[in-house]
Amino acid sequence: MSQKKRITVLGGGPAGYPAAFLAADHGMEVTLIDEKNAPGGVCLFKGCIPSKTLLHVAKLIHESRDAVDWGIDFGKPKIDLEKLQEHGNSVIRKMTGGLDGLAKQRKIRFIQGRGVIDGPTRVRVQDLDGNDLETIESDFIVVATGSSPRRISEFPDSPHIMSSTDALRLDEIPENMLVVGGGYIGLELGLVYSALGSQISVVEALPRLLNAADPDLVEQLQSRLNHYFEEITLSTRVKEIVEENGRLRVKFLGLDRDDDEGKLFDKVLVAIGRRPKSANIGLETTSVEIQENGWIVVDEQRRTAEPTIFAIGDVVGEPMLAHKATHEARVAIDAIAGEASEYNPAAIPAVVFTDPEIAWCGLTEQEARTKGIPHVVSRFPWSASGRATTLGRNDGPTKLILDPNTERVLGVGICGVGAGELIAEGVLAIEMGAIASDIQMSIHAHPTTSETMMEAADLYYGLSPHYMKRER
């Protein structure tokens, strides 16, 4: 029998632990190294999962307030921060415990520590204080070290300035808070703190929120956010932050704004994106190439310039999404196992878990226009959806971006309750090369918001029973 392939994975997040699990399923001898005491990574310990737990709480609070319009008044919610934190921690414990059990079942060697590459096939393991523990020789190394929140060096070092990680700890609920950054992280956490009682202001340097999403989807979201947030300021930067009597005085600089006095906030949340964690892990001892922005250069199989080293997840570039990282893990491990593999997805879903949610996949409308790609758009408004009306949530559209010649589905965009769940149908349609009539002729349950996909396809052919307008 041939000797098992030995693989060492650096990082236990949604790129690293699936890579380790899949490698073990392929019969490889696997070592998984992460700074936490169990697999899960940033996403599980202090990212995706805790934030979505809190967003669910925020949704409950907002729905209870909206119910007043229907004749149901639950009164002002009483929030027990300590119990809320414990609920979030229990979710994390349950999920990390499950992953830890799966790692043991697969006979994966899990080491809590930090892996430092020392050549093409060698990894030095250090404890969290930087002391060397052991050296591991492998046939292959997979770098899945993830990313960390970006910081603004000009801002003062203050306990009142938070990163997204800090914000998830819920140490206190400030009376008012400034969110710097109008991306998905800032808006999601802004909604959480707004529901818990903070007055939220958002400042974004670009002319609109969520720059990667289509404007018609963002417009629907922003209309609702204007009810939740005290202020949303676009095309504006933070010029200066100064501590003043336990608070922060923030001065702004924008197209129509240059505050001399500034405005006082209890907290400032900096949510301007994330940066790859590719530095200080020993890549300089190899032939691995790193771009100026910190992303590791890889090929279609996620192999670096060093043949024995693969890289996956946030360290190899946008989109920095957990599900994209997990898909890359499969591609890389299949390549190591000698199977045909290539990273070439036709559609990667993006979901913003705000209220309403925004989700899209494939070609966006603004991307098609910018690149001059021939397309037609068919939109079905949720105002014509029976299910959305029963929910009291006629927020946005479901739209299909279609090839005008073949009618093939090139992209899907949705704004509305549960858009993150609905977008999966769009991903499947794009990956399978579906055309508009495939969606039109697929019977969707009534009354559901999923019908809006079918209705958008109906509208393309001018046949919708619930809406007259047709966009070609």
> 179 and 302 in contact (C-beta within 8 Å)?
no
> 266 and 176 in contact (C-beta within 8 Å)?
yes
**Cα–Cα separations (whole angstroms), residue 319 to 147, 347, 428:** 12, 11, 19
Token output for 49: 């999962």
Q: Give the residue from 338, 349, 369 showing the smallest Cα distance to 419.
A: 349
In the block, tokens 């197209």 appear at: 255
Token output for 199: 């007055």
Q: Evaluate the CA torsion angle 218, 220, 223, 227 in order and state its sign.
A: negative
**Cα–Cα separations (whole angstroms), residue 121 to 99, 156, 313:** 26, 41, 20
- Kindly give, in sequence order, each residue whose CB lies less than 8 Å from that of residue 362, ignoring residues fewer than 6 positions away: 346, 347, 401, 409, 410, 411, 412, 426, 427, 430
- Kindly give, in sequence order, each residue whose CB lies less than 8 Å from that of residue 40, ignoring residues fewer than 6 positions away: 12, 13, 17, 49, 92, 95, 96, 99
Residue 62 bears catalytic tag: no
Do you find a cis peptide bond into 447, omega within 30 degrees of 0?
Answer: yes
Q: Letter for the amino acid at 346?
A: A
Token output for 98: 């499950």
Active-site residue, from 227, 444, 446, 466:
446
- Per DSSP, the three-state class of 261 is coil
Residues 294, 247: Cα–Cα separation, whole Å: 34
Residues 341, 254: Cα–Cα separation, whole Å: 48
Strand ranges (E), 127-206: 132-137, 140-143, 147-149, 161-162, 176-180, 199-203
Q: Which long-range contacts (CB under 8 A, 24 or more apart) does 370-374 make?
A: 373/410, 374/403, 374/404, 374/405
Token output for 244: 């003043």
Q: Evaluate the CA torsion angle 215, 216, 219, 221 in order and state its sign.
A: negative
DSSP assignment, residue 313?
A: G
> 148 and 320 in contact (C-beta within 8 Å)?
no
Q: Kindly list the strands in the beta sheet with 199-203, ordered across the sheet, starting from the edge strand earlier in the chain.
A: 161-162, 267-270, 176-180, 199-203, 231-233
Q: Which residues are catalytic?
A: 446
